[in-house]
Chains A and B, each alone.
Chain A
Amino acid sequence: MAALSSEFGDLVEIKKQLTVIIALCRERGLVHSVKWASELAFALDPLPMKELPPPPPFTEEDSQDLDAYSLAKSFFDLKEYDRAAYFLRGCRSQKAYFLYMYSRYLSGEKKKDDETVDSLGPLEKGQVKNESLRELRVELSKKHKARELDGFGLYLYGVVLRKLDLLKEAIDVFVEATHCLPLHWGSWLELCNLIENKEMLKSMSFPDTWMKDFFLAHIYTEMQMIEEALQKYQSLINVGFSKSTYIISQIAVAYHNIRDIDKALSMFNELREQDPYRIENMDTFSNLLYVRTMKPELSYLAHNLCDIDKYRVETCCVIGNYYSLRSQHEKAALYFQRALKLNPRCLGAWTLMGHEYMEMKNTSAAIQAYRHAIEVNKRDYRAWYGLGQTYEILKMPFYCLYYYRRAHQLRPNDSRMLVALGECYEKLSQLVEATKCYWRAYSVGDVERMALVKLAKLHEQLNESDQAAQCYVIYIKEIFECGELLEQVELSTAFRYLGQYYFKNKQYDDASICAQRCCNYNDAREEGKSLLRQISQVRGQAETPSSDLSLPFIFGPLSAKNTPVRRMSPLNLSSVTP
């Protein structure tokens, strides 16, 4: 997986290629690809004068079109697309043709957006569409058939197809575009949005260039295959792209996705150092700061971004997070609304706004916001989860089951949904289902470490003492292993229960160890002492010489040999799991 293409050997060559593609994209007005390539080029060492690549060959056609092209390009840069298209209509060179088609496309898109405001009626809004798309498609497909399209043309054709919802055709065309012109990041990026799953990705053939590695890393991040993505990025850094802000930001996002907050934070801090005026991805950063309740840092970030550009979606989200952390939820909601005004498809903002409304106890508005989020993206598990929480707060445990289930479907390995499901089942007194949920939550790696305790308590309720003891033992082991002694309440209950359990099963050594541990906690001290007394009483009757009661500090011996493992293997728990 980590093996990269051999082309990485020659960074100078890569740099040259980047320089060429930057020029090509700029001529065609593909600003985002220019930005991406430039960012990457900036991360590499500058080339000496003589190494600079020659400008692209200038053909006869190019020279003929030069004046028209220059004029049109200036109009294009000024966003006068129709005018640009008009002057380019007779041009024959590839460059001018692309700009001609692209202007027409953008003009259609712009008009579409304007019309949305100015449509005849509200219900007509959904009908507004880019009128030029179909014409563009017909012309481009003709050219495509005749194999007259270059890499950029193919890219545009793909975009048009995608806009017409002809996704399968679009993917084919984009793949062709990457083969034809592998250096153009735009085509790769479009593929990232179109490829839905791993199988689809595997079934495709891509050109074997160094760009492929960037693409794979990007799409792994999108598909939540974080391990693979991180590996890819790490090897890219090793090859020599260590200064690239793009890679750093992607790594930070990846860490954020797997909730490795510390690493993500450090990556973002590095990013801020290298690129202090960057706004992209800063909303993710603010989410991390929010989760860690780092108020001063978040405040600094918010003010800084506000200085840079306050009318950006990311800025608004950061400010919203900031207010939310300060418990000023009205203002937070206001800023999320502003973010949505700036980009209605900004999915995160809808969900965050839902959270804010929840904080404000405005459940109906929260439901509304979450619904909007789902409308934008049906696969947004946070919105489904939020809806579930809302109904749970409204004390409708059965009703919210549906929403939690949806969330769980989308994130099958997220313990939070499973714990939530388990809690609902518990409330509905469907204990068997609840145990299944908790056990599954523990199996997929419980982040909040509550599933086991809940499971143990359920087993207690179901009078399955062996399983309950089993869970408590695992729980105690885990807590001791990770060295955090925060959840004392639950630990004391665990010890208390285990003490009683061993006592009942006449395993007095283990019982006394547990009782001793109980005495360390305030709320269980009395019980611990009384249990100890009972044990010594029983032992006195049995006249067995008491083994030394010196406590093993580590809970090790208990779990090593004296646990109920002897009678019932811990795997037996699986009998209650699906």
Chain B
Amino acid sequence: MASVHESLYFNPMMTNGVVHANVFGVKDWVTPYKITVLMLLDEMTVSTSITLLDRRRLNKLILPLLQSPDMTLSQLIKTVEDSCPQLAYTVHLRLQLMADGELKDMEHFFDMLPSPFNETESEAHKTSVVGLFMRHMVLAYNKLSFSQVYKLYTALQQYYQSCERKDSPAAEPAEDTGMELTNTEELGAKMEKEELDFAPSDDEVSARGPLSQKQAEYFLAQQAYLLKNDENKALDPAALQKELNNMLKFNPDFAEAHYLSYLNSMRVQDIFNSTDSLLHYFDRLILPGGDSKSNGDEGCGRSLRYAALNLAALHCRFGHYQQAELALQEAIRIAQESNDHVCLQHCLSWLYLLEQMKGSDSTLTEHAVKMAVHFCLPYLASLGIQSLVQQGAVGGKTANKLMDALKDTDLLHWKHSLSELIDISIAQKTAIWRMYGKSMMALQQAQVLLNMNSLEPVNLGVQQNNSEAFAVALCHLSELHAEQGLFAAASEILKHLRERFPPHSQHAKLWMLCDQKIQFDRAMNDGKYHLADSLVMGIAALSKTEGLYRKALVLKAQNQTTEAYKVLQRLLLYCEKIKGTEMTIRVMLSLAELHWSSCCHAIALPLLLRSLALSREYHLQHLASESILHLAFSQLMLGIPEQALNILHMAIEPILAHGALLDKGRAMLLVAKCQIVTVSSEPSKQKAQALEVAIQNLEEAGTYFAKVDCKERVRDVYYLQARLYHSLGKTAQRNKCAMLFRQHNQELPSQGVPLITRL
């Protein structure tokens, strides 16, 4: 080991070998970039010729300039030029003078810098951002040792020259004395290639310069914010990791960087790196607690608890539920030992979440929420309430109670400015309204969320979140649009979703499912069952029950009754077990339809009545009207059209108000059918009148079907219309309808389900 090079490490001046942050006690130090910024500030105070508009633009520029990482001179000049070309020129000139001059020019500059200390009338007040910056710089400059000052000056010269060189590439070889690399052609191709690999990274580093602690903190905060709120605007994972590694190389003690690296690794689902970074972060974090003797133990123990909790969260994210549970147990035990109720509350929430993810039904007690309120954890408290509301909604609690609870939490949110939770709350409302079948209300809530101005200060042009709440709201919105036949709009929304939540991201599954469902529905409407069948696999991958249900639908449509029946029975048992009421009802309805196709309308009735009772119990209006529709159809087929018409009146109103286009069409068609059957025995004059009404209803149904591309049903409508016109003796209309029917009939493949036996 003892090689020549290591003997040089015997250097008594070296401090402990550890890179101590803050050797100088200041968080900032002078770099050529900062000198240029100082010049800019100085010019701004001195020069009087700047117009008001320019000045305003410049003022807006100052903060980003102070906070951002060092830029190259050309970048800086360009930025300034955008606001005020004249000032950019002056600054450039001054820098040139200084760089081409001598060391004393720089010294002079710092001497002449208007000190915010002694000049009360100075524009930069000493406690203002600019004043603080200037004082920092002056202080840092004064602390520099002799050799450091010289180094700074040479750095300044290089800074200026590198900009000049870029500006005039033609002059490069002549000026380039230090780098002989460019004119050594005799070096082989391999060599050049290496050099290419080598040079850019080197250039990049020297151009960017190391980040000062402040800049690093700002960088981390910014990236973390972006990761949370708008992932696409953050640096891409590879670049961010490179930046972080760089930062850590310069200062391994910068623990926060490890945490960001953890978050970044999570983005790309890299469990090894994320675990490593997370543990590293907490290893580093423990130090400050240990340093202060007085509450050292407390600080240390605290971070330990949260370390275990975070580890649990990590495993949870990766779906390692057993590991997560173990970590969580550990966190709970440590928290209990040290009586940390706040941490325990967090653990409790996670425990609840974990149990839910594992699929076992656990219930969060109201007591837990009360405890959270007691320990002043509004975030946890309202999360708890939201979970309770969700449970209540699924469990059939009355809407007014749920909405009341949500309103109360909303009060809490606004009070504590928990914008994230407000979003969730609104998304939840959307979902609840949707579940109840009130599409207008759902639509309205979704729009509220999307149009709401975020509470967080508008930052970096990020106005909207990319949280789960937004994904949920947007998915609902697209489904609602698709229901109304606005497929272009729906796909537009989906496109937006795809952009905002790229496929690898956490919430992408939401829109993927939504997208496939819409496509499936369209394919089914269009009668393209093979297409629908191919989509089933994709849906099943994202949601098992949904996949099974859709599979059954396809089978049913393809007249494979036995298979469909088997699947539906299995699904029904499963749904009853997991208490998925919505799905249970839908499965029951499908089962009833299966019974129709074998002409067992009487058997379908009890099923339909059960589904109606269930949907009424759980306030699922949409499904209730659907059930009524089915019921009426059964009655029609059983030969009691009057009864059918009677109960149809219950359903028709909510369907027309909230239902999907397809449902509206089906309802109108059914109404017409009932009307036709009821009037068949009546005298001819009344009959003619009633048939006219029926034709109108058919017309309406036809338009609805046409909007959702449901050609088969359109054809059926034409057929009925033609028959009605015929019986009314309106030959012209009859011929027109018959022709349209014929057109449609030729386009369509042979009929799957006979016209008469379906709703």
Contact = CB atoms under 8 A, between A and B. Distances in A.
Interface of A: 30-32, 106, 109-110, 113-114, 116-127, 135, 138, 141-142, 145, 159, 163-164, 166, 169, 186, 189-190, 193, 280, 337, 340-345, 362-365, 367-368, 371-372, 375, 387, 394-399, 402-403, 428, 430
Given A113-B9, A363-B300, A138 B308 contact: no
Given A124-B210, A126-B19, A117 B148 contact: no
Given A364-B289, A364-B300, A428-B326, A341 B14 contact: yes
Contacts of A138: 180-181, 184
A538 to B, nearest CB: 46
Contacts of A341: 12, 14-17
B34 to A, nearest CB: 11
21 contacts: A113-B9, A118-B147, A122-B20, A126-B210, A135-B180, A141-B187, A163-B5, A169-B194, A341-B17, A345-B6, A364-B289, A364-B290, A365-B287, A375-B252, A395-B337, A396-B304, A398-B326, A398-B327, A398-B329, A402-B279, A428-B326
A125 B330 contact: no
User: Counting chain B CB atoms within 10 Å of each CB, which of A106, A109, A120, A403 scores highest?
Assistant: A120
A363 B307 CA distance: 15
Contacts of A430: 326
Contact of B250 (A126, A163, A345, A428): A126
Contact of A120 (B148, B198, B211): B148
Contacts of B291: 364
A38 to B, nearest CB: 14
A229 B652 CA distance: 91
Given A113-B11, A186-B3, A398-B308, A126 B251 contact: yes
Contact of A121 (B29, B191, B327): B29
Given A32-B4, A138-B184, A337-B16, A120 B275 contact: no
Contacts of A371: 280, 283-284
Given A120-B30, A367-B283, A399 B308 contact: yes
Contacts of A186: 3-4
A363 B247 CA distance: 27
A113 B6 CA distance: 11
Interface string B323-340: 100110110011001000
Contacts of B286: 363-364, 367-368
Given A341-B17, A394-B304, A123 B216 contact: yes
B174 interface: no
A120 B152 contact: yes
B212 interface: yes
A113 B13 CA distance: 10
B23 interface: yes
B14 A30 contact: no
Contacts of A159: 5
Contact of A362 (B290, B311, B323): B290
A94 B529 CA distance: 84
A31 B152 contact: no
Contacts of A402: 275, 279
Contacts of A164: 198
B108 interface: no
B499 interface: no
B239 interface: no
A280 B14 CA distance: 22
B589 to A, nearest CB: 47
Contact of A122 (B1, B19, B147, B275): B19
Q: Which 5 A-B pairs have the closest CB atoms?
A: A344-B17, A364-B290, A126-B250, A121-B29, A123-B250
Given A118-B145, A138-B180, A396-B330, 20 more contacts: A109-B8, A118-B148, A122-B21, A123-B250, A123-B251, A126-B249, A186-B3, A189-B3, A190-B3, A364-B287, A365-B287, A367-B283, A368-B290, A371-B280, A395-B337, A399-B311, A402-B275, A403-B279, A428-B326, A430-B326
Contact of A117 (B13, B152, B304, B330): B13
Contacts of B284: 368, 371
Interface string B193-212: 01000100000010000111
B290 A142 contact: no
B349 to A, nearest CB: 19
Interface in B276-302: 279-280, 283-284, 286-287, 289-291, 296, 300
Interface of B: 1-24, 29-31, 144-145, 147-148, 151-152, 155, 178, 180-181, 184, 186-188, 191, 194, 198, 205, 210-213, 216, 247, 249-252, 275, 279-280, 283-284, 286-287, 289-291, 296, 300, 304, 307-308, 311, 323, 326-327, 329-330, 333-334, 337
Nearest to B275: A402
A387 B744 CA distance: 76
Contacts of B8: 106, 109-110, 113
Contacts of B211: 123
A214 B440 CA distance: 85
A367 B289 CA distance: 12
B210 A127 contact: yes
Contact of B327 (A142, A399, A403): A399
Contacts of A30: 4
A344 B250 contact: no
B435 to A, nearest CB: 39
Contacts of B191: 141
A133 B360 CA distance: 63
A430 B323 CA distance: 11
Nearest to A118: B147
A166 B193 CA distance: 13
A394 B330 CA distance: 11
A255 to B, nearest CB: 18
Contact of B205 (A127, A145, A363): A127
B284 to A, nearest CB: 7
A145 B188 contact: yes
A105 to B, nearest CB: 9
B186 A145 contact: yes
A30 B2 CA distance: 12
Contacts of A106: 4, 8
A75 to B, nearest CB: 17
Nearest to B180: A138
A229 to B, nearest CB: 16
Contacts of A169: 194
Nearest to A365: B290
Nearest to B30: A120
A47 to B, nearest CB: 27
Contacts of B24: 121-122
A380 to B, nearest CB: 14
B726 to A, nearest CB: 78
Contacts of A340: 16-18
Given A113-B11, A122-B251, A394-B304, A364 B296 contact: yes
Contact of B330 (A141, A345, A397): A397
Contacts of A121: 24, 29, 210, 212
